[in-house]
A and B are shown apart, each in its own frame.
Chain A
Amino acid sequence: MDSVPNISPNELERLTDQDKAELRQFIGNETQRAKIQTQTHSMTEICWTKCIPASSKGNKLDSSEQSCLANCVDRFLDLNLATLKHLSSLRN
């Protein structure tokens, strides 16, 4: 693994305002990326169970498995949106 030098609080104070702003932007993007990855882990598990049968052979996904996975993601997100929409209609 790459070794990363430890950063002391003292060294943090050397950051210029511009570098601080860049870091905030970077952390925001990374946080977004991490959220998407976590959601991907959860959907992969759900769609794996639905689309890849135990009888599935070989080391690669076949084309029907691939299209099932893509549809699974889209329909899962449709349902997600529909749920939010319905809930907000109940509130009104």
Chain B
Amino acid sequence: MDSEAVKKAIIKQVQLESNMNNAKQLIEKINENCFQRCVPKPGSTLSSSESTCATSCMEKYMAAWNLVNASYVKRIQQEVHNNGFAT
């Protein structure tokens, strides 16, 4: 491999690991929060209403994540613009 190929391989590897890490954190949070919400009293099986609740909880949690991320990035940009200072 030449320098260019080595560089590209490193970039690819870092991006892959970073995306995996982010997905892992998200799945963990979804599990915790949606289990808390949708399975108040664990029974002998996961009922169909519990699994319906979990599906909609998951979709909403991901939408909330995207919205929080967008608001956060916007705020950072404002802070940088106003004070040259990031939180």
**How many positions in chain B have a CB within 8 Å of any CB in the partner chain?**
39
Contact partners of B9 in chain A: CB under 8 A:
4-5, 7
What chain B residues lie within 8 Å of A70 (beta carbons)? 67, 71
Contact assessment for A37 and B25 in the assembled complex, using a CB-CB cutoff below 8 Å: yes
Within 8 Å by CB of B68, from A15, A40, A57, lies A40
Query: Could you tell me if A40 and B72 are in contact, using CB atoms closer than 8 angstroms?
Result: yes
- Secondary structure of the A side of the interface? helix
**Do B56 and A45 touch across chains, with their CB atoms under 8 A apart?**
no
Beyond the given pairs A7-B1, A39-B72, A44-B68, 19 more chain A to chain B contacts, judged by CB atoms under 8 angstroms and listed by A's residue number, are A2-B16, A4-B16, A5-B1, A7-B10, A7-B13, A30-B14, A33-B18, A34-B22, A45-B29, A45-B33, A48-B61, A51-B64, A52-B64, A54-B37, A61-B63, A69-B67, A70-B67, A73-B68, A77-B75
